[in-house]
Amino acid sequence: MDHSYFKERISGYYDNNLPPYEQQSVEEHLKICEECQKLLAQFEKLDKLVEEKSQLSDTEYWEKSAQKIENAIGVDDSKVVDVSHKSYKGLFWKISAVAASVAILTFIGINQADIAPEAELKINQPPEVQVEKQRDVDNEKVVTEKTKELVETGKDTTSVQPTDNLPEKEKPIQKITLDTVVKKNEAGKGVVEKKLSVVAKSPRPMAVQSQNEEIQIEDEPKIELLSEQLEETIVQPASEPVTISKTSKSAQQFFADRLASTDKESKDNLDYLRKRKDSLRMIYTSYSQTVSKKLKASRSKSASESKIFNDSLRALTEKSLLDAYYKIGLNSDSDIEKSETIRFFENYISRKESFHNELARKYLDKFNK
Amino acid sequence: MNRSNERQLIEAVQNGDKVAYGKLIRIHQKRLFRFIYGLLGSFDATEDIVQDSFVKAYNSIDKFNLEFAFYPWLATIAKNRAFNYMQREEKKESLDKVSEIGFNPIDPELGPLEQVIDSEGQKKFNEALQSMPMKYRSVFVLRHFERMDYAAIASYLKIPPGTVDSRIFRARQFLMDKLKDML
């Protein structure tokens, strides 16, 4: 083969792209041909030169270019608001509205004394009108109202406390809040009270009529009613017997009924308790058989946290189940149910995992008696 | 950047993370620019095509197969646009014709180019490269800039592998002649 044949293949040889037999023959030729050796060396130099000189400089251009592409795909859509397309069609109306507002305010300012001499006072110094109410607990019905001061002293009258010289009927009301509290009056009797605070947002006059035990709102203002405060406060039973005042006899009856209901259940309630007992029993059984075993087997932190959570649920379930069994056993005429109750209590007490062994024991003792 | 990191970025983009795509842009834009500039020799055209290709790739990112590398896919988009551009510039003559006659646009303003090609050696090299006929330059750019093997170049340009071999040889001879004082 002549020299030109090999010369044309030096490039392919350099790129290791020749078939094996050609690769070998070029290699053999290179050993004896200086010109081809120089050519191969030139290719190597060119390769380095290309690599070096074709590199593009690190300049600000690349960051700007990247940002341009990012803008095209909307990377900053959420941050940048393009207002260029907005027209100024509404500008006339905006200017008109501002001008009109200024004119009205100026007019009011000039004629302030003639228009509403007291309105300013109402805005600057809104009187605090607070009305407290007592509620019939059974019927959830407002029956009386008292001012805060009078409730504290236990007097059964109604009044409104002004904080400035305005007539009573022109006091603006800003909001109404209603709180339920139990207090002792002078006679030492417990009184269930609902505190109603009425304060208006609007400077418009509103009349609060506090005639005896009713409240009427005339000329309805914008009233902000804090509904969450309408919820009854949960009152824990006092250690000493609480006597309900004469103004809430039905409340007294309510508590009496509640106390009586702990031991005596109507037939309907008994049926309900049986269903409740069955449901709780299923949950209790599933907890006892599966969940606790799995949790005992696991030692991980999350399993430990789950165990605490599940134990809380188990404790609640067991307490409810014990209550249900106790009430059923106590009120049922069936001997089977009574014996079932005793069996359940005995089994429950014997279990080490039970949360309320003491309670079960008390129930069992009481039941046996 | 390794493949798994790139894959995470692409997955993020596919899930709507545009900031992740910004990272991909910054990783690949210089290489893509060098490739397209090597083919076209026009700074403005290259800038437009690179930016347009990134946007096109972003809009089609849902179709991208995560099993493959991102750059070759992006480069193919850009290369097709570059060839389309050349065809338009050559009055819609066929790509083969463009390839045969060469494509040597005259850049009226070299200002922007100086932003990325600042040294005299770089300018001289690029001038030599741009003076090379297109049929040699295209294979040379693919071989040296994109590190493609002969079979891939043949497939890419739809020419026989033997032709790739001979064209690369001619391109090297051409450049060695133009840049002999630098070698």
Percentage of chain B with pLDDT > 70? 84
Interface test with A, best of B28, B74, B117 (most A CBs within 10 A): B117
CA B82 to CA B74: how far, in whole Å? 12
Query: What's the CATH fold of domain B1-104?
Result: Rna Polymerase Sigma Factor; Chain: A (1.10.1740)
Question: Pairing mode, if any, of strands A224-225 and A174-184?
Answer: parallel
Please tell me the distance in Å from B51's CA to the nearest CA on chain A. Answer: 6
pLDDT digit string (tens) for A144-182?
343 344 334 444 433 344 444 444 444 444 444 455 555
Mean pLDDT of chain B: 83
Residues A72, B145: C-beta atoms closer than 8 Å: no
CA A293 to CA A296: how far, in whole Å? 5
Cα distances from B53 to residues A75, A360, B22, B42, B82, in angstroms, run: 16, 78, 14, 16, 10
Between A294 and A57, where is the model more confident?
A: A57
Cα distances from A302 to residues A289, A309, A313, B24, in angstroms, run: 21, 11, 17, 39
Domain ranges of chain A: 3-52, 91-123, 125-249, 267-368
Q: According to the model, what pLDDT value does residue A332 have?
A: 81
Backbone angles phi, psi at A19, to 5 degrees: -60, 155
Q: According to the model, what pLDDT value does residue B73 have?
A: 92
Pick from B55, B118, B168: CB nearest A57: B118
Between A47 and A129, where is the model more confident?
A: A47
Residues A61, B115: C-beta atoms closer than 8 Å: yes
- B89 at the A interface (CB within 8 A)? no
Query: What's the CATH fold of domain B117-183?
Result: Arc Repressor Mutant, subunit A (1.10.10)
Percentage of chain A with pLDDT > 90? 1
Asked if B146 contacts B88 with a C-beta cutoff of 8 angstroms, the reply is: no
Please tell me the distance in Å from A178's CA to the nearest CA on chain B. Answer: 50
Residues A62, B26: C-beta atoms closer than 8 Å: yes
Residues B172, A51: C-beta atoms closer than 8 Å: no
Q: According to the model, what pLDDT value does residue A270 have?
A: 78
Q: According to the model, what pLDDT value does residue B56 have?
A: 93
Q: According to the model, what pLDDT value does residue B32 have?
A: 93
Return the structure tokens found at A362: 């008390």
Average pLDDT over residues A31-56: 88
Please tell me the distance in Å from B115's CA to the nearest CA on chain A. Answer: 7
pLDDT digit string (tens) for B13-66?
999 898 999 999 999 999 999 899 888 888 888 999 999 999 999 999 998 988
Which residues of chain A neighbour B55 with C-beta distances below 8 Å? 69, 72-73
Question: Pairing mode, if any, of strands A174-184 and A141-146?
Answer: unpaired
Pick from B115, B166, B169: CB nearest A59: B115
Minimal-distance CA residue of chain A relative to B163: A12
Domain ranges of chain B: 1-104, 117-183
Average pLDDT over residues A23-41: 90
**According to DSSP H, which parts of chain A are helical?**
3-14, 20-32, 34-53, 60-73, 91-110, 112-115, 119-124, 148-153, 249-260, 267-286, 292-297, 301-331, 335-350, 357-368
pLDDT digit string (tens) for A213-258?
334 444 444 434 333 333 333 333 444 444 444 444 455 565 555 5
pTM for the model stands at 0.44
